[in-house]
């Protein structure tokens, strides 16, 4: 019984993630500033952009971080043997930080959207925030989704949250 429930939960998690992402990305955007791209594989530190579209990514040897600001602000930090991704669009702010064997991703789309993900244990996690939402994944406690449409799934704690407001 546990196996069936886990499989259904995983299927629901993937379905909701995909639907939410398409809804956020497919929405209209205002005349945006040029996108800021900050890939940082291996031992690297990258900063790009201006006040309208900015990003920063830092990683140590053996890690990889990437941040993309598309009329938003994104920041990613990765330790060795970890991955970190942050994407911010249309006024959003996304930050992601990873440690050993973790892979967090933060996506914030829309005015006032804030997504913060932290990888502290082995496992993947994702936080997606829409306009006005705040989504936080700590890796040690249940994720939180408040203020607007948002979603989080955390395989570090096997917990998640959804906000439809």
Sheet of 114-119: strand order equals 44-49, 54-59, 73-78, 93-98, 114-119, 134-137, 144-146
Mean predicted confidence (pLDDT) in 141-158: 97
Residues near 137 by Cβ (< 8 Å), separated by ≥ 6? 104, 106, 116, 117, 118, 125, 126, 127, 143, 152, 154
pLDDT tens readout for residues 8-51: 433 434 344 443 443 444 444 455 568 999 999 999 999 999 87
pLDDT tens readout for residues 92-119: 999 999 999 999 999 999 999 999 999 9
Answer whether residue 2 shows pLDDT above 70. Answer: no
Answer whether residue 81 shows pLDDT above 80. Answer: yes
Contact (CB, 8 A) for 65 and 35: no
């Amino acid at each position: 019984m546990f196996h069936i429930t886990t499989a259904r939960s995983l299927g629901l998690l993937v379905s909701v993630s995909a639907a939410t992402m398409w809804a956020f990305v497919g929405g209209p955007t205002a005349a945006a500033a040029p996108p800021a791209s900050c890939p940082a594989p291996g031992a690297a530190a990258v900063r790009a952009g201006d006040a309208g579209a900015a990003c920063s990514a830092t990683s140590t040897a053996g890690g990889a971080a990437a941040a993309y600001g598309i009329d938003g602000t994104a920041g990613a930090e990765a330790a060795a043997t970890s991955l970190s991704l942050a994407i911010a669009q249309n006024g959003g702010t996304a930050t992601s930080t990873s440690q050993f064997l973790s892979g967090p991703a933060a996506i914030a789309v829309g005015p006032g959207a804030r997504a913060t993900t932290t990888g502290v244990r082995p496992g993947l996690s994702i936080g997606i925030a829409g306009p006005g939402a705040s989504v936080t994944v700590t890796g040690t406690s249940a994720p939180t989704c408040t203020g607007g449409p948002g979603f989080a799934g955390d395989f570090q704690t096997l917990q998640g949250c959804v906000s439809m407001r």
